[in-house]
Amino acid sequence: MSGFPILSLMLAVPLVAAILCLYAGDRNARMIALVATLIDFALGVVLWANFDIGGAQWQFVERADLFGRFSYKLGIDGMALMLIMLSVFLMPLCILASWDAIKQRVGLYMAMFLIMEVVMIGVFMAQDLLLFYIFFEAGLIPMYFIIGIWGGANRKYAAFKFFLYTLLGSVLMLIAMIAMIAEAGTTDIPTLLNYDFPVEMQTWLWLAFFASLAVKMPMWPVHTWLPDAHVQAPTAGSMILAGVLLKLGAYGFIRFMMPMFPDASAQLMWLVFGLSMVAVVYTSLVALVQNDMKKLIAYSSVAHMAIVTAGLFAFNQQGIEGALIIMLSHGVVSAALFFCVGVIYDRLHTREIDRYGGLAVNMPAYALFFMLFTMASIGLPGTSGFVGEFLSLLGIYEASSVVAFVCTTGIILGAAYMLYLYRRVVFGELTKDDVKAMPDLNPREWAIMAPLAAVALWMGVYPESFLAPMRSDVTTVVARLAPAKPAGDAHLAAGKPKPAAAHGENAHGSSHAGGVQ
């Protein structure tokens, strides 16, 4: 594979297809989009198959110098690979999900999705800071149009809110990036990753990045754009928003903030932990009282993302790997849950939970898939949700038992709001006539549900497939953070019998030395 510009090809395929879609008729546009996204998925599989696990950190590197310091430089590591796989996997499913639901301006819609794919995988591939920024912010544009044009009744308010939130953070991040380039004299991300910024400067850069990334995550209290955006977005828009766009924030944390500003990350760890703890409890409780299915799942996303941020800032292998697995798992499962909402929305055109009930009778296949994804969202062992949640919470515990305790209460509340939702939609007596008339899944819907279900189970039973490519990258980040890492709150002290205590001490890392606080 060496030398073949596969990453550029993956960017080019949807880009070309997007242009074609603009000029093709409605039916052709659908087909073009589907074929293009499937080709990209196939390329992704090739990419994964050729990725050398345990090899060089950056693989498939391409570089073309443009003007000034700005260069077109692509390359991926294991974390980027997995997130690219998530994107190219979800894309064809999103196109299929929009197949019948979108009837107006289909060509434009498909073009927007394809452009979205370009910028999403571009974010994960970019190795130049400026290139990254362009992709990162450009991701807003197609999403903005998808909500604004094909959204629900209140789409303009939602699009505006989405925009306003992200604008503020973006500007701060851009300023921070300019400062970084001025200080380090390069835009090359791998170089920046090993550049030691002065500690006091790190704090400011960290805060500027945080302003942008916290909105993207979204973290409490800048999360309120998400429920509105989800509610108004068309089904596929919600799928990709929850599936991939929400992961950009966390990707920014692990790619930039933590390795580039390790001291600031350690100093401000309390801020991230604090906001995450609030988010888990607060948004879970809010999810409990929602009447709108999409809002409920949107709030649950905020709670899940809070465990991601807390897991990342645990600064250890389990916490970070767990957070990454939650990102992948949540990408699959929340996309699937939004699709589950979409399936019945297409039939009854309401998201109101109380309008449904008793679907287990006339839609048994749907009920089964919905149950599986509900369980995956709750984090039932054997599904993808468990592995990520377990690892990250375990990592968090090593850092702080208090944070772990508060975050773990999310498993109780998560079960409560998801099962309560499921009960109201699927169980109960089938009484309403229009609900009775709803047919079970059609083949197209099966084709979307089945792969999502398969991946959710695969990730739960054999997560090694997903952990292995990312392992050395996480180790690198952990090593980078090690000098700044504060000691956990456990302070295990040996009692009378000495020998075993040493064993326990070894177990949770020798990195206790040299805390900054």
Partner 1 sequence: MIQAIVFLPLLAALVAGLGQRAIGPFASKLVTTGALFTSCALSWPIFLSFVMGTGEAEVVTVLHWVSSGALQFNWELRVDTLTAVMLVVITTVSALVHLYSWGYMEEDPDQPRFFAYLSLFTFAMLMLVTADNLVQMFFGWEGVGLASYLLIGFWYKKPSANAAAIKAFVVNRVGDLGFMLGIFGTFLVFGTVSIPEILAAAPGMAGSTITFMGMRLDTMTILCLLLFIGAMGKSAQLGLHTWLPDAMEGPTPVSALIHAATMVTAGVFMVCRLSPMFETAPIALGVVTFVGAATCLFAATVGTTQWDIKRVIAYSTCSQLGYMFFAAGVGAYGAAMFHLFTHAFFKALLFLGAGSVIHAMHHEQDMRYYGGLRKHIPLTYWAMLAGTLAITGVGIAGVAGFAGFHSKDGILEAAFAAGGGGVIAFWVGIFAALLTSFYSWRLVFLTFYGKPRWEQSEHIQHAVHDDHGHGHDDHGHAPKADGDGTAGYHPHESPLSMLIPLGVLSLGAVFAGFIFAHPFIYPEEGKAFWAGSIAFDEHLMHLAHEVPTWVKWTPFTVMAIGLFLAWNSYIRNTTLPARFVAQFKLLHQFLYNKWYFDELYNILFVKPAFAIGRFFWKRGDEGTIDRFGPDGAAALVAGGTRLAVRLQSGYVYGYAFVMLLGLVGLASWAMVNFL
Site for partner 1 in 70-99 (CB under 8 A): 70
Residues 6+ apart with CB under 8 A from 418: 300, 374, 377, 378
Among 35, 39, 348, 490, binds partner 1 (CB under 8 A): 490
- Which residues of 231-305 form beta strands (DSSP E)? none
Among 211, 288, 447, 457, binds partner 1 (CB under 8 A): 288
Q: Where are the alpha helices (DSSP H) in 52-154?
A: 78-97, 106-125, 129-138, 140-150
Q: Does 147 sit near partner 1 (CB under 8 A)?
A: no
Q: Does 437 sit near partner 1 (CB under 8 A)?
A: no
Shortest Å, Cβ 398 to partner 1: 6
Q: Does 316 sit near partner 1 (CB under 8 A)?
A: yes
Residues 6+ apart with CB under 8 A from 423: none
Q: Does 251 sit near partner 1 (CB under 8 A)?
A: no
Q: Does 397 sit near partner 1 (CB under 8 A)?
A: yes
Q: Does 354 sit near partner 1 (CB under 8 A)?
A: no
Q: Does 157 sit near partner 1 (CB under 8 A)?
A: yes
Residues 6+ apart with CB under 8 A from 474: 79, 317, 320, 321, 324
Question: 19 vs 134, which CB is nearer to partner 1?
Answer: 134
- Give the x-and-dash track for 23-62 against partner 1 (CB under 8 A): ----------------------------------------
Q: How many binding residues for partner 1 (CB under 8 A)?
A: 104
Q: Does 135 sit near partner 1 (CB under 8 A)?
A: no
Query: Please, are residues 189 and 126 in contact by the beta-carbon 8 Å criterion?
Result: yes
Residue 46, Cβ density class (10 Å: 0-12 exposed, 13-18 middle, ≥19 buried): middle
Q: Does 153 sit near partner 1 (CB under 8 A)?
A: no
Shortest Å, Cβ 100 to partner 1: 25
Question: 97 vs 116, which CB is nearer to partner 1?
Answer: 116
Q: Which stretch binds partner 1 (CB under 8 A): 77-85, 86-94, 307-315, 462-470?
A: 462-470
Task: Please list the residues that pair with 62 across neighbouring strands.
Answer: 74
Query: Please, are residues 117 and 37 in contact by the beta-carbon 8 Å criterion?
Result: yes
Q: Does 164 sit near partner 1 (CB under 8 A)?
A: yes
Q: Would you give the DSSP letter of residue 489?
A: S
Question: 49 vs 182, which CB is nearer to partner 1?
Answer: 182
- Give the x-and-dash track for 319-338 against partner 1 (CB under 8 A): --xx----------------
Query: Please, are residues 399 and 488 in contact by the beta-carbon 8 Å criterion?
Result: yes
Among 171, 201, 211, 447, binds partner 1 (CB under 8 A): 171
Shortest Å, Cβ 95 to partner 1: 25
Among 420, 457, 472, 482, binds partner 1 (CB under 8 A): 420
Q: Does 144 sit near partner 1 (CB under 8 A)?
A: yes
Query: Please, are residues 29 and 104 in contact by the beta-carbon 8 Å criterion?
Result: no
Q: Does 482 sit near partner 1 (CB under 8 A)?
A: no
Shortest Å, Cβ 119 to partner 1: 13
DSSP string, 216-241: HTTPTTS-THHHHHHHHS-HHHHHHI
DSSP-based three-state secondary structure for 441: coil
Query: Please, are residues 399 and 319 in contact by the beta-carbon 8 Å criterion?
Result: yes
Shortest Å, Cβ 258 to partner 1: 16
Shortest Å, Cβ 282 to partner 1: 5
Task: Indicate the length of the chain as a whole number.
Answer: 517
Q: Which stretch binds partner 1 (CB under 8 A): 107-115, 206-214, 445-453, 463-471?
A: 463-471
Q: Which residues of 167-183 are buried (b: 16+ CB within 10 A; e: fewer)?
A: eebbebbbebbeebbee
Q: What six digits make up the tokens of 238?
A: 């919600």
Query: Please, are residues 229 and 478 in contact by the beta-carbon 8 Å criterion?
Result: no
Q: Does 279 sit near partner 1 (CB under 8 A)?
A: no
